[in-house]
Amino acid sequence: MTIKKTGSAAGNSSGRGQRELRVKVKTAKGRKLSSTLWLERQLNDPYVQAAKREGYRGRAAYKILELDDKYGFLKPGARVVDLGCAPGGWCQVAVERVNALAQNPKKPVGTVLGVDLQEVEAISGAEVHQLDFLEDGADAQVKEWLGGKADVVMSDMAAAASGHKGTDHLRIIALIEAALDFAFDVLEENGTFVAKVLAGGAENEMQALLKRSFKKVANVKPPASRSDSSEKFVVATGFRGRPKPAHAAELDEE
């Protein structure tokens, strides 16, 4: 790999006229251009650089940081479930913000439970398990590990990309539905549900279900989400309880 740095860090003491150094990567023999471009983007991504500097396992940590900065759901003492937690950045943020390690002895101590299809390296302050959340009985197993109610259920689960936009959308909706059904069972009153969706947010039926179940529902693209990515996040706050089926709600109104 050949790396060039472009731009200049030189300038006057005020910083005017300075430019950040940019890493240019030449395509090595046997490596595809797409791989070279990906590597160059990673090396120049400020969130990747910040994650390395601040000890987070990936740039995705800043997505949940930015969402929590805006909506404030990771409070000290909160009980959090992170579905699709690999490589662990969201758990790291949750541990800090809910005071899971009792960093601040004057504040309530929270708990963080992470689950992922892949094996995840241990995270200080979090309980992490390897599990396919879509297999039969998986939700019951997570409930057993949780041992009670949760204040926040967050999901960064994503299906492997097929290259077909419609198929990928349906797959991620299926993951959101599974996560949401779990959330309905375990969330405390006024709890929060956060999940990754594709561009356009959750489909209409999902939006209607969320709006019946939570006081506020927002579809957000945090700054840390790359502009060329189709992902967004649904943030539903103020859990009211599992909604009645649509036909039952209609009968109540009659």
What is the rounded CA–CA span in Å between residue 24 and residue 62? 25
Q: For the chain, give the number of residues.
A: 254
CA distances from 149 to 9, 111, 161 (A): 52, 11, 33
- Please report, as a single letter, which amino acid is at residue 191: G
Q: Is 132 annotated as a binding residue?
A: yes
Q: Which residues of 216-247 are buried (b: 16+ CB within 10 A; e: fewer)?
A: ebbbbbbebbeeeebbbbbbbbebeeebeeee
H/E stretch holding 141 reads helix 138-146
Is 232 noted as a catalytic residue in this protein? no
87 HSE (CA, 13 A, CB side): 8
Q: Is 181 annotated as a binding residue?
A: no
Q: Is 38 annotated as a binding residue?
A: no
Q: Residue 238 is encoded by which pair of tokens?
A: 């103020």
Exactly one of 196, 215, 216, 232 is catalytic; name it.
Answer: 196
232 CB contacts (<8 Å, ≥6 apart)?
196, 197, 198, 199, 200, 201, 219, 220, 221, 225
| CB-count burial class (<10 Å; 0-12, 13-18, 19+) for 253 | exposed
Instruction: List residues forming the annotated binding site.
Output: 88, 90, 116, 132, 156
The residues carrying an active-site annotation are 196
Instruction: List residues forming the annotated binding site for S-adenosyl-L-methionine.
Output: 88, 90, 116, 132, 156
